[in-house]
Every structure is written in C-alpha cells, then in structure tokens.
Amino acid sequence: MSKKVSGISQTIPLSIETKKSAKKKRNSNVWLGFILPALLLAVWTAATETGFIPSYQLPSPRNVIERIVRLVQDGSLWSHVGITFYRVGIGFFIGTVAAVLLGSIVGFYSKAEKIFDPIIQAFKSIPSLAWVPLFILWMGIGEASKISLIAVGVFFPVYLNIVSGILNVDRKLIEVGKVYGLGHFQLVKRIIFPASLPSFFTGLRSGLGLGWMFVVAAELMGASEGLGYLLVIGQYSSSPDIIIASILLFAIVGKLTDWFVKIIENKVLAWRDTSAIGG
C-alpha cells in the first residue's frame, strides 16, 4: 500500500508540473504573436508622426483610433460590424453545408468525382468579382446576392479539403476495419470521418478567410451598411482614416472568428499528434 501511495504522490506533482509547463508555453506563444504587430505599429507611428509619410496617404495610428472612437460614440460602428458579421455568418453556413454534402458524395463515390469535379474545378478559377454582375442580375442588390457571393467564396476551399481528406484516408485503416467486421456506416463513423477531420477544419478556416474577403466585393453591390461600405465611403470622401479603420476592423474581426474555429479544432482534434521543429 505504501508503494502505491508513494507512486501516486509522485504522479500527481508530475501531472501538475506538465500542466504548468503547457500553460507557460501557451502564454509564451501568445506573447510571441504580438511581437511583429508591435513592430509594425512602431514603424507606422514613427513614419506618420514625423511626417515622413503624409497624412493624406497614410494617417497616423492616433487618427485611426480617433475615427474608430467616433464611430463607437455615434453608434454606427456596431451596426456596420453587425451587418457584415451577419452576411459572413449566413454565407459561411450555406457554403459549408453545400460543400460538405457535395464533397462527401464526390469523396466517397468515384463516379460522382468524374461527374462533378471537373466543372467544380472550372468554376473555382472564376474571379470573385465576375460573379457580382450575374448575382445582381438574378437577385438584385439585396441581401440574397451578397450572401450568395460569400457562400460561393466559402464553398470551394471547404469542398476541396473535404474531398482531399476523404480520398487521402489510409486504405490500410479501412482494410483493418473490414477485417474486424465493420459495416459501411461504421467504417465512415469510426475511421473515415475522424481521419478526414483535420482536412475539414483546414477547409473551414480557409473558407472563413475567403468569406471575409468576399464580403468586401459583396458590399460593393449597393450596400448602405457594413465594413465594406465604410471602405467605399472613405474612398469617395478621400478619408484615409476611414479606410484604414475599416481594414483594421476587418483584420480584428476576421482574426477573432478564425481563433474561435481554431479553439473548436483543438478540442475536437485533441487526439491529433502534431510536431514542430524547435521549441
């Protein structure tokens, strides 16, 4: 009994020490992520405050922050961010659902791949702005055309990663599953689906990033609200502080949504064995 207690007493400190080490490493990685933005901010401040770059070309960080504060004070910032987030969220959902359904069919059935994949690859090469006049013609300048454009942007990276994830599942694992008597549904549930999840999350993050890019083109279609609309207002009024503020807000909101998906990915794929060179 004493040996067992001794073993337990040795195990507990080790586990606590491991948790502390992991937490310390996470905090270190967070601080490392702030180094480059801080350097860019310092260079930006020095270049604009000293007059090296004229304010009509690039406003100082102080002027941009003041513009954002004014947008917060008059209440317009939240409506612009909210409507843009709504458009990206709905378009991301529709594009992801369509990509999952079609990508799963193409990944599982070789005949479906021969039928659908060539035309999807062709559509993938069409620039985003090329869809704008067509969607306006079909659906007008309302929310439907904007959300459809975002859904198109999200669809392709999610679809490609799902198909790639399914096709690249190790066939030896599938053969082992068949040896153990797993049926088709069980093979999908216990082998194919978990093995393709890393590619699926890669597609989700890529699709989300493209969703934030496509929303700019979408909000050029007669929008009266949104961060893309602020970019247009800044261009027409020759207000670079509005343009830079809109770009920064896009970067912040886009990073927060990607961070949220990354957290879900880490929890779902906690079993994944990753490696990196260096500390």
Counting Cα atoms < 13 Å in the Cβ hemisphere of 214 gives 31
Helices (H), the chain: 2-33, 35-49, 61-73, 76-108, 110-124, 128-139, 143-167, 171-179, 184-187, 193-218, 227-236, 240-268
Residue 104 has pLDDT above 90, yes or no: no
Kindly list the distances between the CA atom of residue 46 and the CA atoms of 34, 60, 263, in Å, as whole numbers in the listed order.
18, 9, 35
Q: Is 146 exposed, middle or buried (0-12, 13-18, 19+ CB in 10 A)?
A: buried
User: Confidence class of residue 275 from pLDDT cuts 50, 70 and 90?
Assistant: very low
Which pLDDT tens digit goes with each residue over 215-256? Answer: 988 887 777 888 888 988 888 888 889 999 999 999 999 999
* Average pLDDT over every residue of 180-200: 78
pLDDT given at position 12: 46
Tokens 């890393």: give the residue: 198
Residue 22 has pLDDT above 80, yes or no: no
Which pLDDT tens digit goes with each residue over 105-156? Answer: 888 888 888 888 888 888 888 887 788 888 888 888 888 889 999 999 999 9
Average pLDDT, the chain: 82
Q: Is 160 exposed, middle or buried (0-12, 13-18, 19+ CB in 10 A)?
A: buried
Distance CA 41, CA 114 (A): 50
